[in-house]
Structure 1
Amino acid sequence: MSLLSKLLYLRVKVEYSPKKLKTLGVDQDLPFVYVLSSESTISRSILWEEINRGNLPKPFKLDAEFGLNKSILASKKLVGYWNRQTDYKEFEKQLTDVITQIKQDGAKQLQLIPISVFLGRAPDRDHGIFKVIFSEKWGITGRFRKFISVLVHGKHTLLRLSQPIVINQELDDSKEAPERMAHKLSRVLRLHNNRVKTSVVGRDLSHRRTIAKNIIKRPVVQQEIANYADRRKMPLEKAQKEAQKIIREIAADYSYSAIKFMSGIFRWFWTKVYDGVKLNFFDDLRHLTTEKEIIYTPCHRSHIDYLILSYSLYERGIVPPHIAAGINLNLPVVGRILRGSGAFFLRRSFNSVLYSTIFSEYLSSLIAHGVSIEYFIEGTRSRTGRLLHPKAGMLAMTVRSYLNERSKPLVFVPSSLNYEKLMEGASYKNELGGKGKQKESIGGLFKTIKLLKENYGRLTVNFSEPIELDKVLDKHQPNWRDIKLDVKEKPQWFKNVVSDTGNQILTHINEASHVNPINLLAVTLLSTPNRAASEDNLRAQIRLYKDIITQLPYSERTTVTGLSEDEIIAKGIFLGFIQRVEHPLGDVIQVKDEMGVLMTYYRNNVLHLFAASSFIAMFFVNNLKHPRREVLRMMAIVYPFIKNELFLRWTTEEFVEYGRQTLATLKSLDLLVSTGRNLERHKGGSLQAAQLRVLANALMQTYERFFIVIALLKKRGSGNLTSNELESLCHQVASQLSLLYEFNSPDFFDKNLFRQFISVLKDEQIIRVDLAGKIIHSDNLEPMYQGAKTILSRRIRHSILYLL
């Protein structure tokens, strides 16, 4: 032991707290022992060396008097080599022997002096990454980590001593058995040690130990464990172990050191691969963090989404949220790092009632403790660039948890994450081209290291207006404050709250869109023949889109790049999306062949911003003039369908009013002119006519897809198709059209989009389903069919009808 002490003291330098030990009130004439907060060979060696150097009084030998064979005890020890667990039995047995001796001989007394040894303190912002990794932390510390901590932090070792606990004659007044008293005293020391550690290291933020530990004890979980044991015909103890395994799989292991370590990596990462991270409307969020329970709900476009919010909040002095991550990310090493940064893991499917109950209770516990949370209501990353329809699971559990265990008012904070270039671009392109999704793995992670050699442009995060859950609940169930729901209870008003909240979140995300250079290039060049345009025409079209966004703001939180048209083109070339083809009559800017499919992703990010202007432009592609009143009437008819697909923010009346404003803006930009009650475009061959056609093409495929559904219903007639048959036929027709006419947009034949459109047709009572499951359409189908004929070219209409 002395040899180890001497080796340790090549690095160790001890500080004391308090510095004057006399203030502790230790009576050195009475027997005393030191009680370490945790058994550790290193801590015991440091303590003995300090005693031998005379810096601490030497404890008594108590083997004869109390039967103790040690002068330094430990209130807990770790057992096991790999899967180490905490054990208190040895210490409680030692206390039991002491208490028994004192009860037998009232003259005896023993002082217990609590002492804790800390190798370093809680990390601060100025610590280096390596020091942060091996700072003191909560939870079980491995032997190797302890050894490295000595090397890194040995010169800042702290010995924290506390006032002695005296075991004496007064114990005779208690009728409790020595074993029971020893157990109580052990718990008192544990509580004391936790408070001491909090003052040195900081709060224990690891809910895997503090919150998750208590999840299993909850009555609803205990009841489900018993039910699980009955269903599986297994012993209750085995079911308990299954439950403990589940909570360990789920729970985060939040720690200061992990957060600091990851922030150092991210700071390097953003600098290396991005041109910066821009946060807009952040100051509006700051005041919420102290007043509200916050659920961050960003859009989900990249694995980087998991990291950017946590990093950005930490850098601005706000505690990063706990993040709901897919179990596919719980990889060796990576999973542990993510847990330390606040990730808790969920399975793709909640088929097990036991799993669902434990996960729901864990989420409730986080909310009850005021822990901010982040999750993606789309469920998975969007591969098309469109927002995906919300998954109800996490939202439903959040609403139920808030009803049952609210502490502060809860708000959802949607945000839009905008990338000029996605790190997953290559894999998305493959998936859009029909290849299967690659499973996450360590090998795949190492393969992505080569991506760090590229530049990914600028990353912009726009925070939207928060959504107050209280207001949504008041709208659907005014007496919700008097209601509690169990895990299986789902009244209709509850479903309405979940659905309404999900749609509001996605709508708010779109309100907070940022339009970057690649979005503008994509929405322009994908609407031109051969995905190419002369440089002058491209500049003019980009300028038009920027004018529409600024003169017809979609919302107060919609932003657009401040780069000039020339800078936008240069950025697209630099990031590898487009190329310049030199020509004597003027250079041509063209989308690279291998980037055509991927560019649809960036176009789809911002399509909703042109929902009105593009629709209006469609009326004038095949018609020189059109009545203003008819344009606005058709906008009212079609709005429910595009609202559902693009998560638009208006009511029908507001959309029609926005349409009036759009008509006025298009006239001010000289794209349309008034001729009495009609509106008229410039003649073909003019720049204005060309610009109007490109604007129309931005959303043309959406309405072509709508026409496929309507035309199929009209041709097949009522009562002949089921919803599934109609969906499948639409997919087949659209995919063949894509091959014949090079739409170059995989989402054109996306089954989910057809399914959603068919669903809205039912909601709007255009169609209904009879008892046999067949679709019956109403007379309202005919006006929609005639309206579609007005805006679609004869070539496209005939091509669709021919394939039917």
Structure 2
Amino acid sequence: MFETVELPIWIVVLGGIALASLTLNAVLLPSVRWFFRGRVNRLLSRANERLRLSLKPFALTKRQVLVDRLTYDPVVIEAVAQEARETGVPREVVAERAARYAKEIVPSFSAAAYFLFGVRLSRWIAQTLYRVRLGASEDRALEGIDPEATVVFVMNHRSNVDYLLVTYLASERTSLSYAAGEWARVWPLEQIAKAMGAFFIRRKSENPLYRKVLARYVQMATEGGVTQAIFPEGGLSRDGSLRPPKLGLLSYMLETFDPDGERDVVFVPVGLNYDRVLEDRILVGHEVDEKGRPRFRASIWVGIGFFLKHIWLRIIGRWHKFGYASVSFGAPISLKALVTDEANARDLGRVLIRAVGAVIPVLPVPLIATVMAEAEGSLTRDEVVSRATALRDELVGRGAHFHVARSDFDYTVEVGLRALVRRRILKLDGDSYSVNSEQVALLSYYANAIAHLPRGE
């Protein structure tokens, strides 16, 4: 029994790998997991102490558990059975399709990724691109929100930078679970977005089973107290104006809301505005397909070219930030206070979109764009200042939130004029400014950003 046994080297190597793997699983990996789990728990504890709206257990539940809960939810099971009856497809096949939808929708929120990576990256990108300013903020009313309420930030959609800007500025209050469109479902953006708590929506899907699975996830998250962020317009504004609300997500929330229940749903209106929207020319130049849906003329090469151009400008010292970006937080709106027997998603959408529009801040470029869009010809700088002053007084007199750059209105006008001339939207001839006839659509895009605001009598 003590004789020497010869073995091929490949068996020895495989045996060594297997032994090392067993050792790692049995001894080292549990200790490593324990170490990191302890750090994550301490991070969560510190975050909940700092945040005004703490992280709810639903948001911290393992993703697979949520996927299983959604897949085997009684409402989803009934929807699967109905789909099978109506289409004649075997029930097991339809159930597998519903499971795929659940895996696609449910996020894999990581508090460590959100607070250690996401918030910091959002802050860095936002502050690199813009002079970020917090506009109006109803701090006292926001602090008075019931800690057990489900809070939903409702905002206008101007740019894909919206996600970063609001994540950064709301990070002292809470973490946000965004409803993200199909544009984000590319590697590695999808994995990052899901780790940040985003859930994905096929906005163009009319499949009733998919819609039922999505509705149940939104209802489960709302009932679980998860803080969410939604864009009621449903997509980016293509002409700069505030669009009518889409009612999908709102109707899902309203469908199972119990006004006599313990948990309220509180909507926080958020208004965003920019001196320059990165996607503005793409949005203005969109086409419409045969079904009336927008189709954008853009490619990854356009994005790469834009990025490289601005890297080069930074290297040679000619790069400038894209002006001001501002976010305002309005007074919270309680769903319990709104709900009546006749209440519906359409009424709720109108209330929320008006509240969002009321807190959209006025920035230098939209102000000057409005002045020049209303002018019938060229204006001298003094005439621009005079008209801009009158417009400011009208807007502020009706409750608009106005950002005065460096607390100097003359400088505010200068910022707006300089930005529009630099982008060739306005032409400067001596001391006179006029609209470039080839850029009228772009000028209107920025003027439309504040066109909904009430003016003086």
Contact 1:43 1:117 (C-alpha < 8 Å) held by counterparts:
no
TM superposition score normalised by structure 1: 0.47
User: Do structure 1's residue 569 and structure 2's residue 427 form an aligned pair?
Assistant: no
1:289-348 deviation digits (Å, cap 9, x = unpaired) = 62421111101111112232222222x1x3322111112321221111111111111112
Alignment of 1:246-265 (within 5 A): 246-259=101-114, 260-265=116-121
Which residue in 2 is equivalent to 1:401?
A: 256
Alignment-derived partner of residue 463 in structure 1: 329
Structure 2 SS opposite 1:332: coil
Mean Cα deviation higher: 257-266 or 502-511: 257-266
Q: 1:262 to 1:595 in 2, by over 3 A?
A: farther
So what's the TM-score if we normalise by structure 2? 0.80
Change (3 A) 1:3 1:319: farther
Given the alignment of the two structures, is residue 547 of structure 1 paired with residue 366 of structure 2, yes or no?
no
Secondary structure class of the residue paired with 2:179:
strand
Measured in 1, the distance between the counterparts of 2:213 and 2:22 equals 34
Deviates more, 1:318-327 or 1:224-233: 224-233
CA contact (8 A) 1:472 1:497 kept: no
* Structure-1 separation of matches of 2:223 and 2:237: 31
Q: Which residue of 2 aligns with 1:657?
A: none
Which of residues 90, 96, 101 is equivalent to 1:241? Answer: 96
Contact 1:296 1:412 in 2 (8 A): yes
Q: 1:239 to 1:405 in 2, by over 3 A?
A: farther
Contact 1:384 1:432 in 2 (8 A): no
Distance 1:440 1:340, change over 3 A: farther
Structure 1 partner of 2:402: 559
Correspondence 1:267 to 2:108:
no
Inter-partner Cα distance in structure 2 for 1:380 and 1:258: 26
2:158 to 286, 293, 301: 301
Structure number, greater radius of gyration: 1
Which one of the candidate residues 10, 26, 32 is aligned to 1:44? 26
Work out the CA distance in 1 between the residues paired with 2:411 and 2:38. 46
Give the secondary-structure state (helix, strand or coil) at the position aligned to 1:383.
coil
Deviation of residue 235 (structure 1)?
A: 3.1
Q: CA contact under 8 A between 1:416 and 1:509: conserved in structure 2? A: yes
> What is the alpha-carbon distance in structure 1 between the residues aligned to residue 76 and residue 144 of structure 2?
36
Matched AA of 2:217: Y
CA offset at residue 217 of structure 1?
A: 1.7
Distance 1:348 1:498 in 2: 17
Contact conserved, 1:215 with 1:221, CA < 8 A, in 2?
yes
**Cα distance, 1:597 vs structure 2:** 1.7
CA 1:229/1:525 → structure 2, altered by over 3 Å: closer, same or farther?
A: same
Task: Give the Cα–Cα distance (whole angstroms) in 1 for the partners of residues 90 and 225 of structure 2.
Answer: 36
- How far did 1:40 drift? 6.9
Deviations along 1:602-656, whole A, 9 cap, x unmatched?
2112223354x4xxxxxxxxxxxxxxxxxxxxxxxxxxxxxxxxxxxxxxxxxxx
**Aligned partners of 1:377 and 1:502 also within 8 Å:** yes
Deviations 1:404-452 (A, max 9, x none): 9955111111111011111112212323899963278766654553476
Residue among 194, 197, 208 paired with 1:339:
194
Tell me by how many angstroms 1:212 deviates.
2.9
Question: Which residue matches 1:326?
Answer: 181
Query: Which position in structure 1 is the counterpart of 2:282?
Result: 427
2:229 paired with 1:374: yes
Q: Structure 1's 347 and 444: CA in aligned 2 closer, same or farther, altered over 3 A? A: farther
Match of 1:609, SS state, is coil
For residues 49-74 of structure 1, what are the alpha-carbon distances to aligned partners after superposition, in whole Å with 9 as ceiling and x for unaligned?
Answer: xxxxxxxxxxxxxxxxxxxxxxxxxx
Contact preservation (8 Å) 1:418, 1:514: yes
CA distance in 2, matches of 1:367, 1:433: 35
In the aligned structure 2, how far is the partner of 1:433 from the partner of 1:590? 30
Residues 324, 291 of structure 1: alpha-carbon distance in 2 compared, 3 angstrom cutoff: same
Distance 1:234 1:255 in 2: 37
Opposite residue 185 of structure 2, the aligned amino acid is: N
Q: Following TM superposition, by how much is the alpha carbon of 1:403 offset from its aligned partner in structure 2, in angstroms? A: 3.2
Partner deviation per Cα, 1:447-488 (whole Å, 9 max, x = no partner): 5534765522121111122221112213xx1xxxxxxxxxxx
Q: 422, 432, 438: which one pairs with 2:296?
A: 438
- Identity, % of aligned pairs? 23
Q: Which residue of the other structure, out of 484, 508, 516, is the alignment partner of 2:355?
A: 508
Match of 1:356 in 2: 211
Contact persistence 2:126–2:165 (CA under 8 A)? no
8 Å CA contact 1:367, 1:406 repeated in 2? no
Matching residue's letter, 2:380: S
Instruction: Read off the aligned partner of 1:276 and give its amino acid letter.
Output: V
CA distance in structure 2 between the aligned counterparts of 1:358 and 1:463, rounded to whole angstroms: 31
Q: Counterpart of 2:338?
A: 472
Contact 1:298 1:416 in 2 (8 A): yes
SS in 2 for 1:559: coil
Shift in CA distance, 231/281, structure 1 to aligned 2, threshold 3 Å: same
Secondary structure of the equivalent of 2:337? helix
| Secondary structure of 1:515's aligned partner | coil
Say which structure, 1 or 2, has more relative contact order (CA 8 Å, 6+ apart): 2
Distance 2:153 2:68 in 1: 25
Deviation digits for residues 140-197 of structure 1 (CA, Å, limit 9, x no counterpart):
xxxxxxxxxxxxxxxxxxxxxxxxxxxxxxxxxxxxxxxxxxxxxxxxxxxxxxxxxx
Are the structure 2 counterparts of residues 3 and 204 from structure 1 closer, same or farther at C-alpha, using a change threshold of 3 Å?
farther
Deviation at 1:44, TM superposition (A): 3.0
Which runs of 5 or more residues in structure 2 are unaligned?
A: 1-12, 44-56, 312-319
Q: 1:374 to 1:118 in 2, by over 3 A?
A: same
- Kept after mapping to 1: 8 A contact 2:282/2:297: no
Aligned to 1:596: 440
The 8 Å contact of residues 325 and 345 in structure 1, kept in 2 or not, is answered as yes
Q: 5+ unaligned residues in a row in structure 1: which ranges?
A: 9-38, 48-113, 128-201, 478-492, 614-661, 663-804
Q: Is the 8 A contact 1:421 1:456 kept in 2?
A: yes
Q: Determine helix, strand or coil for the equivalent of 2:327.
A: strand
8 Å CA contact retained: 2:58, 2:225: no
Listed one character per residue, the Cα deviations across residues 575-625 of structure 1 (whole Å, up to 9, x for unaligned) are 324657353xxx1133445543211112112223354x4xxxxxxxxxxxx
Instruction: Please give the alpha-carbon distance, in whole angstroms, between the structure 1 residues aligned to 2:321 and 2:196.
Output: 26
Deviations along 1:765-801, whole A, 9 cap, x unmatched? xxxxxxxxxxxxxxxxxxxxxxxxxxxxxxxxxxxxx
Question: Relative to 1, partners in 2 of residues 1:394 and 1:430: Cα closer, same or farther, differing over 3 Å?
Answer: same
Alignment length, in residue pairs?
Answer: 414
Distance 1:322 1:593 in 2: 42
Give the distance between the partners of 2:261 and 2:221, measured in 1 at CA: 10
Deviation digits for residues 723-780 of structure 1 (CA, Å, limit 9, x no counterpart): xxxxxxxxxxxxxxxxxxxxxxxxxxxxxxxxxxxxxxxxxxxxxxxxxxxxxxxxxx
Give the deviation of 1:395 after TM superposition: 1.1
